[in-house]
Homo-oligomer: A and B are copies of this chain.
């Protein structure tokens, strides 16, 4: 390959033709994804006690049936979310940065009084979330110590919206007219 390259062990001279695949380290992989922007979600479940985690891996998979994916790794709460038959995926925005940080930080109080209520089916629903999607897990794919989850959306609740929020390089950004590059006609 003659594209600009970098291995974890050091740089390959530009124009050189590596005879073997570059070494990939966990750290270089983390750097790459640290620079890949993502929306932010909170995924909750009933265990039966409320449990929840912040996830930056939520993505739409299919519109028919409506289905999404996310992945979880490490941590007590993550394991409990991954094991649940049903979850609620909350798509969060800039008004909820403190909530998102709380659910991302081990040991912090997550289900404060008045911020959530159980769905009729038992899962905790964050009352202020712009979107809450109650889902049935349809597939769990173990990948290393992580689990990739596919889930079908059963129910959608819509709340108040503020500015969209993005996570990038360990910081949060908001999307506004000022950040707009150009619009596009279709997905």
Q: How many residues of A contact B (CB 8 A)?
A: 103
How many whole Å from A152's CB to the nearest CB in chain B?
8
Nearest B residue to A94, CB-CB: B181
A173 touches B165 (CB 8 A): no
In the assembled complex, the Cα of A61 lies from the Cα of B130 at a distance in Å of 25
B29, B158, B175: the one contacting A4 at CB < 8 Å is B158
Q: Collect the chain B residues with CB atoms within 8 Å of residue A181's CB.
A: 94, 97, 165, 171-174
B160, B161, B184, B185: the one contacting A172 at CB < 8 Å is B184
A36 touches B58 (CB 8 A): yes
Q: Collect the chain B residues with CB atoms within 8 Å of residue A73's CB.
A: 61-63
